[in-house]
């Protein structure tokens, strides 16, 4: 989840401030709950395979509960999906001159899109559909400052590049656990291996699923 603390479409700074929180969705659920105490105006969901979903736009920050159902219409499409190969190979400054047309040609379904260095929002202004883009680091590293505590080649992610308060491991296929320390690819009688995918975190035994 990536809250941005500058309102779009007007960005007074060269690049908005960016903060990140990490969440996982277990196999037994289809929702997440996020608590965020800092002001923000934009929220994106970024998956591990670099797919972005625009979830919240609020011109004035409001300390309230926001409930949102996310589907494919919220996805920020890659510029390569929207233009031909010749256009996508142009220099970024030449490409951006036509970004307004991308919003107009895909109106009203396209809410956002991205190239290799920007995230862009489509918005209405004086009866026109326009694009407003800001620089966005698509390759930000959350590698726990090189001190990866995840096992079995798991990736280590932090909630902040400066003063992280939480880390999480993204495990390869057939591995699981808080540090990717368990595997399902080998034979074993461990209850961890048998029950791990069925256990609901932070729920007592009476609210666990039936096996």
Whole-model pTM: value is 0.71
Are residue 114 and residue 163 in the same domain, yes or no?
A: no
Are residue 26 and residue 52 in the same domain, yes or no?
A: yes
Are residue 91 and residue 195 in the same domain, yes or no?
A: no
CA distances from residue 190 to 173, 176, 181 in whole angstroms, order as listed: 19, 13, 13
Q: Do residues 112 and 52 make contact, with C-beta atoms less than 8 angstroms apart?
A: yes
- What is the structure's pLDDT at 8? 45
pLDDT in tens, 47-86: 878 899 999 888 787 777 888 888 899 999 999 999 998 9
Give the SS3 label for residue 196.
Answer: helix
- What is the structure's pLDDT at 191? 60
Residue after which a domain boundary falls, among 135, 153, 174: 135
Residue after which a domain boundary falls, among 135, 163, 191: 135
pLDDT in tens, 143-202: 787 788 899 988 888 877 677 778 888 888 888 888 898 887 765 555 655 565 566 666
Are residue 83 and residue 175 in the same domain, yes or no?
A: no
Are residue 57 and residue 117 in the same domain, yes or no?
A: yes
Measured distance CA(14)–CA(134) in Å, rounded: 8
- Across 41-45, 82-86, 206-210, least confident range: 206-210
Q: Is the pLDDT of residue 12 over 60?
A: no
Are residue 28 and residue 109 in the same domain, yes or no?
A: yes
Are residue 153 and residue 116 in the same domain, yes or no?
A: no
Domain region containing 161: 144-207
**CB proximity list for 154: less than 8 A, separation 6 or greater:** 148, 169, 170, 171, 172, 175, 179, 180
Measured distance CA(134)–CA(17) in Å, rounded: 11
- What is the structure's pLDDT at 194? 58
CA distances from residue 172 to 32, 56, 175, 193, 210 in whole angstroms, order as listed: 22, 30, 6, 15, 27
Residue after which a domain boundary falls, among 135, 160, 183: 135
């Amino acid at each position: 989840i990536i809250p941005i603390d500058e309102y779009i479409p007007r960005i007074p700074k060269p690049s908005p401030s960016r903060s990140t929180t990490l969440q996982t969705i277990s196999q037994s659920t289809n929702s997440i709950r996020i608590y965020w105490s800092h002001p923000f105006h934009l929220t994106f969901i970024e998956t591990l395979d670099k797919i972005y979903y625009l979830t919240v736009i609020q011109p004035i920050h409001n300390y309230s509960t926001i409930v949102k159902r996310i589907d494919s219409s919220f996805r920020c499409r890659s510029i390569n999906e929207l233009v031909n190969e010749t256009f996508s190979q142009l220099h970024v400054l030449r490409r951006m001159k036509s970004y307004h047309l991308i919003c107009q040609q895909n109106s009203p379904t396209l809410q956002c899109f991205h190239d290799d260095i920007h995230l862009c929002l489509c918005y209405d202004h004086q009866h026109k559909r326009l694009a407003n883009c800001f620089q966005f680091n698509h390759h930000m590293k959350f590698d726990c400052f090189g001190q990866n505590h995840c096992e079995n080649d798991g990736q280590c992610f932090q909630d902040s590049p400066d003063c992280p308060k939480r880390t999480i491991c993204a495990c390869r296929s057939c591995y699981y656990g808080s540090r990717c320390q368990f595997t399902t690819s080998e034979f074993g009688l461990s209850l961890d291996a048998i029950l791990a995918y069925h256990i609901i975190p932070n729920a007592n035994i009476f609210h666990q699923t039936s096996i």
